[in-house]
Amino acid sequence: MNFDWWTLAIQTVNVLVLVWLLQRFFWRPIAAMIEKRRADAASLLAEAAAKREQATAALADAERERNELVQRQDLAVAAAQAAAENARTAILATARQEAEAAVAAARVAIDKERVAVESEWAERAGALALQISQQLVSRLDGASIQGAFLNGVLDQIGKLPESTRQAVAAQHATLELISAVPIELAEQPRYGELIARAFGQPGAIITYRADAELIAGLELHGAHLIISNSWRADLARIHFNLADANQP
Amino acid sequence: MNSPLDSSVLFTVGPVPISTSVATVWAIMVILSIVAVVVRRGLALVPSTTQALFELVVDAVDSQIRATMRVDPAPYRAFIGSLFVFILVCNWSALVPGMEPPTANLATDAALALLVFVAVIWFGVRAGGVRDFLATFASPSPVMIPLNFIESLTRTFSLLVRLFGNVMSGVYVIGIVLSLAGLLVPIPLMALELLTGAVQAYIFAVLAMVFIAGAIERDKT
């Protein structure tokens, strides 16, 4: 056996040199590259984590701002609704007042018109009643009607106060008897006698006059008194009562 | 066929004979250095397929060191990784026609074993100092000092013999088969030699890691 010590020495040096060469050009650069990639990956991960945190914070800020905007919007909507409600209430109140005023004015106008219409119809009814009465009276017997109306005049004289009758008698006043149709001359002394007796003044001067507007009946006019027992007076009284009843 | 213990001398430089295995190692060194330089120049943060392959090798070596020695792999990566790559390439160089693997030469394997022996001392002293390193020989009892010392020599010798025996035997088996039937018959044996070469490189590197880990274990504890 012949061991080659020179080869042992040279191979030892060769392996050492190879170890150095590979360490310099292979192991260390590749390991450094792996480490650099790992560090870069860690840095990227850390950066990504930081950016994720920033994004999370930004998201939270955005969410908070959105909530604030929603709150502001709700407040604005509530204020607008309140203002609109106030305006609506005011408009409704004004409209209600105007409507009430218009209704009141319309009612007043309607009442006025109704009163005017009723007055007009009352006038027309009075005229119609007068016309009807005249036509009816024209068909009645004049002497008996005159007698009835004379009795009514005498009753009213009798209902006058005693002082009034005495005053008329004391003054020797001239009385005027108005009839709707002329009193016949033969009947005039009897009419005068009855009326003078009713006043307690037998010699009283009585004049006679015919007035068709009385329709029917008699009216006795003195200096200070009027005794009406005619349809014209009755119709005037009825008309007055109707007009008074139509007053609002 | 020459004796496996003999080495053929190509030429001499003065008194120094340059054997075939030395020349082969020089060629392997040149090839590995060129590959390393090319890979280094092409390094990029976004790796190519080739770079990813070499990074895989580095990562595998680191993982093996971390799993075996339970330490940071950086101080040991270059030595362990270079041993593995060098022995693997030397073993697989037997597939090149007319080339004898350097690891089939006793002197080359002795050089590798010698380097492991020195590396154990170097890393042990660097990790815990001379005192702690020497204290590892007294573990678990001072009575074991002679045996531990002898073990440190014999395990180095076992590294030498194991690698030399396996590679040399493979080379000779293939040579014998080639002399008997040169066509196709040696192919299965060559494939087996590929596996054997990879396994022997792995075993040599792992044993080197175990020896170094034993030397720095006291410092770790």
Rounded to whole angstroms, the Cα distance separating A188 from A178 reads 12
pLDDT of residue B2: 62
Give A224 or B111, the one with higher predicted confidence: B111
Q: State the pLDDT at residue A61.
A: 95
Within 8 A by CB and 6+ apart from B36, the residues are A21, A22, A25, A26
Highest mean pLDDT among A62-71, A110-119, B13-22 belongs to A62-71
- Site of tokens 């976004």: B46
From the list B29, B37, B58, the residue facing A14 with the nearest CB is: B29
DSSP string, chain B: ---TT---EEEEETTEEEEHHHHHHHHHHHHHHHHHHHHHHT--SS--HHHHHHHHHHHHHHHHHHHHH-S-SHHHHHHHHHHHHHHHHHHHGGGSTT---GGGSHHHHHHHHHHHHHHHHHHHHHHHHHHHHHHGGG-S-GGGHHHHHHHHHHHHHHHHHHHHHHHHHHHHHHHHHHHH--SSTHHHHHHHHHHHHHHHHHHHHHHHHHHHHHHHHHHH-
Mean local confidence (pLDDT), B119-127: 93
* CA dihedral sign of residues A194, A195, A200, A201: negative
Q: What is the pLDDT of residue B3?
A: 67
Per the CB < 8 A criterion, the answer to whether A182 and A110 are in contact is no
How big is the A-B interface in CB pairs under 8 Å? 125
Closest partner residue to A36 (CB to CB) among B45, B107, B114 is B45
> pLDDT by residue (tens digit) across A108-154?
998 899 888 888 887 888 778 778 877 777 776 677 777 888 888 88
**A6 to B115: CB separation less than 8 angstroms, yes or no:** no
pLDDT on residue B195:
94
pLDDT value, residue A191: 86
* Contact predicate A237/A194, CB 8 Å: no
How many CB atoms are closer than 10 A to CB A10? Answer: 23
**If pLDDT is split at 50, 70 and 90, which confidence band does B75 have?**
very high
ipTM for this prediction:
0.91
Q: Does A51 touch chain B (CB under 8 A)?
A: no
Asked whether residue A239 carries a pLDDT value surpassing 80, the answer given is: no
The answer to whether residue A158 scores a pLDDT higher than 70 is yes
**CA–CA dist A160, A150 (Å, integer):** 15
Cis amide prior to B140 (ω within 30 degrees): yes
Neighbours of B181 (CB within 10 A): 9
Task: Kindly give the pairing relationship between strand A174-179 and strand A217-221.
Answer: antiparallel
Q: What are phi and psi of B201, to 5 degrees?
A: -65, -45
- For residue A33, the chain B residues in CB contact (below 8 A) are 43, 45, 47, 51, 55
Kindly state the average pLDDT of the residues A31-37: 93
Whether B218 shows a pLDDT value over 70: the answer reads no
Q: Would you say residue B197 has pLDDT above 90? A: yes
Query: By CA distance, what is A9's nearest residue in B?
Result: B111
What pLDDT does A246 receive?
Answer: 60
What pLDDT does B133 receive? 86
Label residue B134 by pLDDT band (50, 70, 90): confident
B6 close to A2: Cβ distance less than 8 angstroms: yes
Q: Considering all CA atoms of chain A, what is the largest pairwise distance in Å, rounded to the nearest integer? A: 211
Q: Nearest Cα to B139, choosing from B129, B151, B127?
A: B151
User: What percent of chain A has pLDDT above 90?
Assistant: 40
Mean pLDDT for chain A? 86
The C-alpha of B132 sits at a distance from chain A's nearest C-alpha, in angstroms, of: 26
Which of A151, A149, A186, A167 is CA-nearest to residue A224?
A: A167
Instruction: Give me the mean pLDDT over the B133-158 stretch.
Output: 89
Average pLDDT over residues B187-215: 92
The candidate with the shortest Cα–Cα distance to A166, out of A137, A131, A199, is A199
Residue A175: strand, helix, or coil:
strand
| pLDDT value at A248 more than 60 | no
The 8-class DSSP code of residue A184 comes to P
Please give the helix or strand (H or E) that residue A206 lies within, else none.
Answer: strand A205-210
Closest chain A C-alpha to B98 CA, distance in angstroms: 20
Judged by CB atoms closer than 8 Å, whether chains meet at B77 and A27 is answered as: yes
Q: Which among B6, B74, B82 is the nearest to A31, CB-wise? A: B74
Q: Is the pLDDT of residue B17 over 80?
A: yes
Q: Give the closest-approach CA distance of B17 to chain A in angstroms.
A: 7
Q: Give pLDDT tens digits for A13-31.
A: 999 999 999 999 999 999 9
Q: Mean pLDDT of all residues in chain B?
A: 89
Give the pLDDT of residue A87.
Answer: 92
Q: How confident is the model at residue A247 (pLDDT cuts 50, 70, 90)?
A: low
CB of B8 closer than 8 Å to CB of B19: yes
Contact A21 B32 (CB under 8 A): yes
Residue B89 has pLDDT above 70, yes or no: yes
Cβ-defined contact of A11 to B29 (cutoff 8 Å): no
pLDDT tier for residue A185 given thresholds of 50, 70 and 90: confident
Query: pLDDT tens digits, residue range B163-186?
Result: 999 998 888 888 888 888 877 777
Query: How much is the pLDDT for B175?
Result: 83
